[in-house]
Every structure is written in C-alpha cells, then in structure tokens.
Amino acid sequence: MIRLVDVVKRFAGSQSLAVDHLSLEVEEGETAVLVGPSGCGKTTTMKMINRLEEPTSGSIFVDGRDVTAQDPVTLRRGIGYVIQTIGLLPHRTIAQNIATVPELLGWDEIRISDRVKELAGMLELKSELLSRYPSELSGGQRQRVGVARALAADPPVMLMDEPFGAVDPIVRGRLQDQFLEIQDRLRKTIVFVTHDIDEAIKMADRIAILNVGGVLEQYDTPKEILRNPANDFVKEFLGSERGLKRLALVQVGEIEVEEGPVVSPDDPPQRATEAMQRFGTDWVSVVADGELLGWVDEQGLAGKATVGEAAPRKFSAYVTAASSLREALDSLITSTTQVAAVVWEGQRYRGVLTAERISKEITS
Amino acid sequence: MGVIGEAIQWLTDPVNWAGDGGIPHRMLEHMEISGLTVLAAALIAIPAGLAIGHSGRGRFLVVSLSNVGRAIPSFAILALALPITIKLGLGLGFWPTFFALFALAVPPILTNTYVGVAEVDRDLVEAARGMGMADGQILRRLELRLAAPVIMVGLRTAAVEVVATATLAALVAWGGLGRFIIDGFAVRDDARILGGAILVAVLAIATELVLGGVERLARPRTVSVRA
Amino acid sequence: MILAQADEPLVEPEWVMRNLDRIGERLVEHAYLTVLAVGIGLAICIPLGILAYRHRRIYPPVTWLAGFLYTIPSLALFAFLTAYTGLTTLTAEIGLVSYTLLILIRNVVAGLDSVPLDTKESARAMGYTDRQLLLKVELPLALPVILAGVRVATVTTIGLVTVTSLIGKGGLGFFILQGMRRFFNTPIVVGAVLSVLLAVSADLALLGLQKAATPWARNRARTA
C-alpha cells in the first residue's frame, strides 16, 4: 500500500543526509511504526509520504501511484494526518474542524453532519462538545478530535506523528487502547511515528527501527524484534527489560497452562498430600464442579477430615486468558504461593502459572 | 520639479536666514519650546509614572489618561488651550503653545514610565527585597535602570509629537517653523510653504533619529528587559 | 477684544442651534475622510502585508518608508502635497492614507505571524491549497491583530483630519480653525468635543467588531 524505494532527503545547507536511502513497504491494513532517536528522520520520512517534505531522490508509492506525480493537494485530501500538537483550527468549532476534509471534497451538508456525529460517537466525544471551540477542550479531548478529523473523509492511509504525546500517561494509555479498537474495525494503513519504544511495541504490526540519518536497522514484528534484535543499536534502543517487554506481548490464553495440584472439597487430606508430592508443591488448589474455591497447605489440613473443612484461602494472584504474561509474572511474584491461578469467566478453573512456566516462553 | 526648485531657492536665499523671522531663529524657537515642554512633562510624568508603576496604585488613572490622550486630536488641544489662556489673562503666543504641548507630552511619557516599571520582572524585585534593599533603592537601582529603554521610547514619542504639533502653533500667534507654512498659505507663496515643510520634516526626522540613538544607549546590556 | 473674550462662556448654545446643519455636514465630511483613508490604507496594506509576510526581505524597506512618512509632521506633509495636488480632497487623502500605512502594515504582518505553525501545517496536510489557506485560515486568524491596528489607525486619522482644515477640508476641524481665527470659543469647543466623541465611538464600535469577529477567543480552556 505504501512503498518507499531508496528515498533520500537532504536539507538545504546540510552536509549530512536526513534520510539515507530508505526502502520500506507497508502492507494494506497494517500499522507500521517508525521509531528511533532524534535525528533519525522518522518525522521527515512520514512527511514525505504526503509531500509536506519533498524527497531529494527516490520514489514513494501510495496505492501503486507515485506521490510526486500527483497534485499534492489532492494527495493530501486522501491521507489522514495527525500531529502531536493537533493543529486544530482555533476559529472553527469542533464540528467544523472534523468536517474540514469532507468540506474540501465537496460533500453535501447532510452527509457531512452525519459523518461528524458518527465520528464523535466512535471517538467518544460528547455531542455538546461539537459546537465548542478548541480552546474550550481538554488536551485529551483535543487529541481525539484530531483523530476524528483525520478519519473524517475515510482515507485509506493515515499518518500519525506522536499523536498521543501531549497528554499524561494515563490519558495516553486510554487513547492508545481506543485507537487500537478503532483500527481493529477500520483496518487503515497507518504510518505511526514515535520516540517511545513501548508505544511502538503496543501499537505496531511492524516496527521500523531507524538510526540517525534515516538508516533502517530492523523492520519486523514487535515479537521478532524483541526476540532477535538485529544488532547492538537495536538492543540498546529496546532498552533493558527486553524479556519483560516480550512477555507483555504474549497472552495467557495463547499458551498451555498446567493444571497443577487439584483436589475437591470432599477429598480426604491424604489426596491433597499425594497431589502435593506429585507436583512438588506445598499447596493444592481446591476446585468444586470446575469452580475454584482457593488453596490449602499442610498446615491448614492438619486434623481435618476432608479438604473442604480446611477453609481454602483465596489466591492473591489471578489472571485470565486476556492477561499478558508480564501481568501474570507481576502478580505472582507478590503472592504468597508464588503462583498465579488461571481462570476463565469468573472462577472457572483452568490451571496455574508458575514463574518457571512463564520464563519457558522466552527461553524457548 | 519647478516647485521644489523654488523651495530650494527660498531655503538658500540668505535673506531668509537673517533676523527674527529667519530660518535659524525660527528653528531655534521650535527646538526650544519642544525641549522645554518635553522636559517639563518629563519632570512631572516620570516621577508620577515611577510611583504608580512601583506601587501599582493609580493604574486606572494612567490607563484612562492614555486612552483619552490618544483620542483627542493634537490640533484640538492647541485650539482649546487658547480660550483657557485668554481667560487666565496669559494671552496668545507662548502660553497656549506651552500648555498644549505640555498636555500632549505627558500621556506618552507617563504611560511608558508606568509600563516600563510595571513590566520589570517581579522575581527580580523580590530578590532585591530579599537581599535587603529598601524600597527607594529598589526603585532607583533596579526598576529605573530596567525601565529606562521603555521610558526613552515614551520620551521619543512625546518629542516627535511635540515637534509636529509645534508646527501648528503658528495659528495661536506663536513662532517656530510652522510660521513659514502658515504665512506661506496666507500669501500663496508656494516656495515658502514647501521650504517650511522641508525644514519641519528634517527637524522631526532628526529628532526621531537622535533620540532613537540615545534610546539604544540606554538599553542595559546584560539584563533582558520585557518591554 | 481680548478682555471681552475673557468673560465669554465656553459654549454659546445659540450658535450651536443655528449651525446644526453645518455641524452635521462637517461631521459627515469628517467621517467620510476617515473611512476613505483607512479603507484605502487597508486596501494597500493587506496585499502588501501578505507579500511582506511571504517574502521577508521587503518588510524592512516597506516599514522604513511607512515610518518615514509617519514621522513627517502632518502639516508639513499636507503643505508639501498642496504644491502638487492643490487644496483638494486628494491632497488630504494622500496625506491621511500615508499616516495609516505604518500601523496597518505592521499589524497585518504581525497578525499573520501570530497564526500558529502547527495550525498551518495541519491545514496544509489536510489538503488546503495555498489560496484556501490564506483566505480560510491565515487571514481569519490574523483578523484580531489587524482590527486592533485599524482601531489605532482610525483614531489617529480622526485626529489628523482636523489638521486638514488648514488646506480647506477639515471636517470638524473647520470649526476649530474658525474659532481660533475669530477668537470665538464656541466653535473650538464644539469642534474639539465632537472630534473626541467621534474618535471614542469609532474606537468602541471597532472594539465591538473585533470581539464579534473572534468568537473563539471568548472562552478559556477547561481542564478535564
């Protein structure tokens, strides 16, 4: 969908190249994140796609057509654009801002107002905000308006430069989640620029790690890059805790979970002891009809007739199929049992996760 | 370029350089009253502006005065001075001119002095107070120095306006370079009108340039001023 | 005669009543000369300002020339012009327009400069042509600063129109001059007071226009 072939950018009066023979391809529906230190040309590269910057040499194709062969104005009306400071038109209302490109394209009024309402719903913007001016909105709201505006004419391609950078981490996380949801539905082709490797890992289908001068060091899925960094630069850029970052990408539901030592409340304590010996633990899970009741240890079983009489204690660490392995690791480290109970739908018992089991995911 | 030629002839004719009605005398008259009124206005307006800027009280007065001052045409001020000086028995000529030019010069000097002092970074003032400087010292050593360029701009604005309006003062039977223009109009002597106009323009531009230069010198080199 | 004037009241109401229509005429003349001058000034300075904003190199010489004209005392300028264009409205207007140029060109350029860079960048990125950018984004956002300049230019021009009484025009200045020449207080006061009122009302009207033209500046951001 987007193809960069040997693209070079040199700024006037500069000795070095801002972008040095970059070749890259972004598939349709894919989110490619350009990430790297300052001076790596990521923003310049993005801007060459919609010709806010002109390439010094090389070609860029969007949907098979060379961008330099097209009228830049028409080209830009077909590409959504979001920057960190948003750049909303201060003298127009939110509704008018969102409607900018449709208006330029000559849509009729009804179609425009329907579309604006649709986007407001998609981005969770309350309808009363539509008649306000940008100066009256909070940073998070403005950011969402920026995304809505970019999506307004339903462009197949979106360019986003640190779009969630100007807000605090909590709001940023929410905006990222919201955007991922929308992207899941719309499947636009997106080129996303950020300096934050964690954001890149979260948002990307593929990450392009750029070095100073627009040199492409590695272009692959987040998992692959974390597993096999191409060189020391990439390793350093990924930062420490690479292992943990990889764990964040795997969900509990994707791996096989061990059942672990399980007894029912009616079982006698000997069954529990047997299970403990078999699994090499000093505790057992108590499950009744598939529902997890808790865990007990030797101490708790002492002098009881059945397991059920020893009041099972709740696991302090629970994870579900949607939790990441990193979250699982974090919760089990702090639990007394050093184990996370895996449950589906409430308390439907699935198994247990140990730190050992988790680390196997990375070391294999 | 016939008229300009005539004007140059008039300007270079030695007859026009002699006596009470001659160019040097009129030029001197013009410069004297301009200087006098600006000085008098400064003597009143600068201390007032410093006091108001330093203490913050009387701000409303300054703002209203500058707004009103902007709206009243200088020509009108000159005209209004006439009945007042006549009522006071001071007659024509010098006094209405003086009062009008004085009234004209005060607002820009006052406003600029006030703004210059008020714009001094409050943190600097607080630091100075913290170091043990008394109010008077703060005013003199800190605020005045930092406000100096802005005050100079006010003086320059006032001076240029005064020089310009003094041209009109011939109408209240005073002298100055405007005499040539007004008298020239009366007898339809284009050369005199033009000659006078050129002289006035030269004086006004010279005033602007000279005071602009002084202003640049008054700018403190090390401290940044929000002016 | 001077002693007689010392006892004169400042304003003789009978004179005002007698001359009401002439006062009205002169008021209209005053307003006309002002509006014409500021209008022409804008017609010159908006295109010139846009040019200077796009090509910075021409800005210093343009402001220098406008500043030069501004410094020349009004009487001198009008007097100089009469040698070429006589005692006509044209003379008055050439002079009056010249005095508006400095403030207007400065404010047009400053207004355009005040448009935030990322607003312009995102507007271009969305597909505005250069002309659309100018007409729909840059000029509207520059409007408040430009209007502020128009206010100052208008008030200044109202004052300068009084001086044109010396070259046969003058609007309300006509009465001021008449009063000065005849040692008669009333027309002086009437002329002066009405000029001030005209200036103040023009200022307020334009301030209202400025506020109405910028509805987006009215409210502050609320932090969520």
> Looking at this predicted complex, what is its ipTM?
0.78
Residues 244-303 of A with CB under 8 A from C: none
Residue C127 predicted with pLDDT over 70:
yes
Cβ <8 Å between A77 and C222 = no
Tell which phi-psi region holds residue B140, choosing left (phi > 0), alpha (psi between -120 and 50) or beta. alpha
- CA separation, residue A28 to residues A47, A157, A270, C161 (Å): 19, 9, 60, 68
The residue-averaged pLDDT of A263-268 equals: 84
Cα–Cα distance for residue pair C49/C64, rounded to 1 Å = 14
Which of C122, C133, C218, C220 to probe the A interface (max A CBs under 10 A)?
C122
Beta bridge partners of A9: A19
pLDDT tens digit string along B18-65? 777 788 888 999 999 999 999 999 999 998 888 888 777 788 888 888
pLDDT tens digit string along A272-295? 888 888 888 888 888 888 888 888
Cβ <8 Å between C73 and B75 = no
pLDDT tens digit string along A184-202? 999 999 999 999 888 999 9
Residue of A nearest to C219 (CA): A136
Residue C219 predicted with pLDDT over 70:
no
Strands lying side by side in the sheet with A206-211: A79-83, A157-161, A189-194, A31-35, A206-211, A215-220
Q: What is the pLDDT along chain B (227 residues), one digit of tens a residue?
A: 577 888 888 888 887 787 777 888 889 999 999 999 999 999 999 988 888 887 777 888 888 887 777 778 888 888 888 888 887 888 788 888 998 899 889 988 998 888 888 877 777 777 877 877 777 776 677 777 788 888 888 899 899 889 988 998 888 888 888 888 888 888 888 888 888 888 888 999 999 889 888 878 777 665 544 44
Cβ <8 Å between C76 and B197 = yes
Query: With contact defined as beta carbons under 8 Å apart, do C73 and B196 qualify?
Result: no
Cβ <8 Å between C159 and B72 = yes
Tell which phi-psi region holds residue A86, choosing left (phi > 0), alpha (psi between -120 and 50) or beta. left
Cα–Cα distance for residue pair C65/C71, rounded to 1 Å = 10
- Confidence at residue B5, expressed as pLDDT on a 0 to 100 scale: 83
Cα–Cα distance for residue pair C187/C176, rounded to 1 Å = 6
Closest-CA distance of chain C to residue A2, Å = 17
B96 in contact with C, Cβ within 8 Å: no
Block residue for tokens 């104005």: A73
Residue of A nearest to C125 (CA): A76
- Confidence at residue B226, expressed as pLDDT on a 0 to 100 scale: 46
The model carries a pTM of: 0.78
Cβ <8 Å between B82 and C188 = yes
Cβ <8 Å between C127 and A86 = no
pLDDT tens digit string along A224-251? 898 888 889 998 888 888 888 888 888 8
C125 in contact with B, Cβ within 8 Å: no
Tell which phi-psi region holds residue A36, choosing left (phi > 0), alpha (psi between -120 and 50) or beta. left
Pick A81's closest partner by Cβ from C125, C141, C220: C125
Chain A residues touching residue C118 (CB < 8 angstroms) = 83, 85-87
Amino acid at A284: V
The per-residue pLDDT of chain A, averaged, comes to: 88
Q: How confident is residue C109, by pLDDT bands cut at 50, 70 and 90?
A: very high
Q: How confident is residue A318, by pLDDT bands cut at 50, 70 and 90?
A: confident
Chain B residues touching residue C180 (CB < 8 angstroms) = 79, 82, 171-172
The residue-averaged pLDDT of C145-159 equals: 91
pLDDT tens digit string along A120-157? 998 889 989 999 999 899 988 999 999 999 999 999 99
The residue-averaged pLDDT of C41-67 equals: 93
A77 in contact with C, Cβ within 8 Å: yes
- Confidence at residue B126, expressed as pLDDT on a 0 to 100 scale: 79
Stretch among A72-86, A167-181, B59-73, C188-202 having the lowest mean pLDDT? B59-73
Cβ <8 Å between C163 and B184 = no
Residue C115 predicted with pLDDT over 60:
yes
C188 in contact with B, Cβ within 8 Å: yes
